[in-house]
Amino acid sequence: MADKTATADEVVAGLEDGMTIGIGGWGSRRKPMSLVRAILRSPVKDLTVVSYGGPDIGLLASAGKLRRVVFGFVTLDSIPFDPWFGRVRESGAVEVTEYDEGMFAAALSAAAQRLPFLPTRAGLGSDVLRVNPGLRTVRSPYADGEELVAVPAQELDVAFVHLNRADARGNAQYLGPDPYFDDLFCLAAKQRIVSVEKVVETGDLLDEGPVQSLLLNRSTVDAVVEAPRGAHFTTAVPDYGRDEAFQRHYAECAKDPERWPGFADRFLSGDERAYQKEVARFAEEAK
Amino acid sequence: MNDASRAEVAIVAVAELFRGDGELLVSPMGLVPSIGARLARLTFEPDLLLSDGEAYLLDAGGAVEGWQPFRKMLEMIVPHGRRHVVMGANQIDRYGNQNISAIGDHERPVKQLLGVRGAPGNTVNHRTSYWVPRHSRRVFVPSVDVVSGVGYDNAAKAGPSAQRFHDVHRVVTNLGVFDFGGQDHGMRAVSLHLGVEAAEVVEATSFEIELDGAGVTRLPSAEELRLIREVLDPSGSRDREVRS
């Protein structure tokens, strides 16, 4: 059996400028943040990022990595707006494809099912059609004759997702309440990278969750990165919840051009180990 | 005499949005809508289904009664249509178009907001209401910058597939309750909250709004006030969202 374990820097070294990358999770929930941080350290640029967006988008924006964002929202959940996404939108520094949340899922589903598009009612009558002039509608060939939005397949070069457990072969498990769309991201992608809190033996996967929690099987995973606290500062329940104090600190610094260089220098200039160490120090200082 | 605050009147007005909904999933976004939905369930609509904002459906006693991850919401519940959502709105126009995406030109907005989220899909699939804690000209605009939630005029322009399940029900604000039963589905006052003058609404709305025939929003009953104050919001967060 192939051992698919790798480091974040190894998998990110495989990225090329201009690639389309899908990032799993939802808002500020179970985001593969250690992989995002690895992208920040790499020279790769001009990325199209497809995401139910949270601070993954914010951090990539802060480092000038984004050419285009495909999104339905970008939010930090407990804080409504990500300041960096606001800044790059308001300065015109990124292009966007803005979809309804359901259209976004349809775009990934179409890619996963190798269909050119999927029909949906969502989007009709809204400005999603105006701001995406390439979108087309399709007429039902049946007696109803309904005219629906034909959401084009959103194929991905690479998918990054963060789950709770996996074995070294790539069977991966979520232990929280919601799988989000992580399996769909993997099915829509040519290359699938999963980071996890902990790599365990295959035989131990069912120790912590039911069989239904095995979201990804190894045929849809190319690399496994062990990344304890790798979703920080987003949630990875039940391993840990969102680090609200740190997220507030991130948002405050992101809002303030004078404070951001200090934040980036302290937390983002080193490797993942340095990041986690500084986060621990930050938590100590806050006590 | 009733000593209900404006926030408490608004909570009851939100609760009233769900009257008749029965065994329906309701998705209230924000504090006052959440309290209103739970109040409706504790009183006249005991069968409503409510989520915890994550993946669980919780009954009135707090027991988990269902699983509803985001994917199920978007691929099954919204298109299936057994849902009533109450969303916020950064802008609303006379025909019920809503914007939560961006202020200004979409290419390069003056202010980036959340994004359209599920608003386009919600509004063409099932009943949608809105909650606006501060009724003002900034919110009630002649025309929204990015149509996120679809109003009556745009649904009509888009044709029968957009109109088939379109049902923008009502807007509750700190001043009153409104629907789209006016001329050409224009916004119309159903009721104004006790103490609100018609002139106040005119002043706070930048389009023409039908005010004839508006009643007075009903006041909370003693039992509703008890539930709001002692059970649903004992810390009084409601009064920070809506000033009396």
pLDDT value of residue B243: 84
Task: Check if B124 contacts A (Cβ < 8 Å).
Answer: yes
- Whether B124 sits inside 8 A of A121 (CB atoms) is yes
Q: Are strands B56-58 and B102-103 parallel, antiparallel or unpaired?
A: unpaired
- Whether B116 sits inside 8 A of A72 (CB atoms) is yes
- Whether A125 sits inside 8 A of B157 (CB atoms) is yes
To 10 degrees, what angle do helices A33-41 and A272-286 make?
120
Q: Domains in chain B, start-ordered, CATH in brackets? A: 6-241 (3.40.1080.10)
Q: Which two tokens stand for residue A88?
A: 């790059």
Contacts with B147 from chain A: Cβ below 8 Å: 125-127, 130
- For residue B109, the chain A residue with the least C-alpha distance is A90
- For residue B144, the chain A residue with the least C-alpha distance is A127
**Min Cα–Cα distance to chain B from A90, Å:** 5
pLDDT value of residue B13: 98
**Letter for the amino acid at B171?**
V
- For residue B115, the chain A residue with the least C-alpha distance is A73
Note down pLDDT in tens along chain B; length 244 residues.
479 999 999 999 999 999 999 999 999 999 999 999 999 999 999 999 999 989 999 999 999 999 999 999 999 999 999 999 999 999 999 999 999 999 999 999 999 999 999 999 999 999 999 999 999 999 999 999 999 999 999 999 999 999 999 999 999 999 999 999 999 999 999 999 999 999 999 999 999 999 999 999 999 999 999 999 999 999 999 999 998 7
Contacts with A124 from chain B: Cβ below 8 Å: 120, 124, 150, 155, 158-159, 161-162
Q: How many CA atoms lie within 13 A of B176 on its CB side?
A: 26
Task: Check if B55 contacts A (Cβ < 8 Å).
Answer: yes
Integer Cα distance of A6 and A168 in angstroms:
9
**Letter for the amino acid at B46?**
P
Q: Which two tokens stand for residue B137?
A: 């000209």
| Secondary structure string (H, E, C) spanning chain A | CCCCECCHHHHHHCCCCCCEEEECCECCECCCHHHHHHHHHCCCCCEEEEECECHHHHHHHHCCCEEEEEECCECCCCCCCCHHHHHHHHCCCCEEEECCHHHHHHHHHHHHCCCCEEEECCCCCCCHHHHCCCCEEEECCCCCCCEEEEEECCCEEEEEEEEEEECCCCCEECCCCCCCCHHHHHHCEEEEEEEEEEECCHHHHHHCCCHHHEEECHHHCCEEEECCCCCCCCEECCCECCCHHHHHHHHHHHHCCCCHHHHHHHHHCCCHHHHHHHHHHHHHHHC
Is the Cβ–Cβ distance between A263 and A275 less than 8 Å?
Answer: no
- CATH H-level, domain A8-99+154-243: superfamily: Glutaconate Coenzyme A-transferase (3.40.1080.10)
Task: Check if B66 contacts A (Cβ < 8 Å).
Answer: no
Is the Cβ–Cβ distance between A233 and A246 less than 8 Å?
Answer: yes
Task: Check if A105 contacts B (Cβ < 8 Å).
Answer: yes
Integer Cα distance of B132 and B182 in angstroms:
20
Q: Give this complex's ipTM.
A: 0.96
Cβ–Cβ pairs < 8 A, chains A and B = 147
pLDDT value of residue A151: 98
Weakly modelled stretches of chain A, pLDDT under 70:
none
**Min Cα–Cα distance to chain B from A270, Å:** 31
Domain ranges of chain A: 8-99+154-243, 120-152
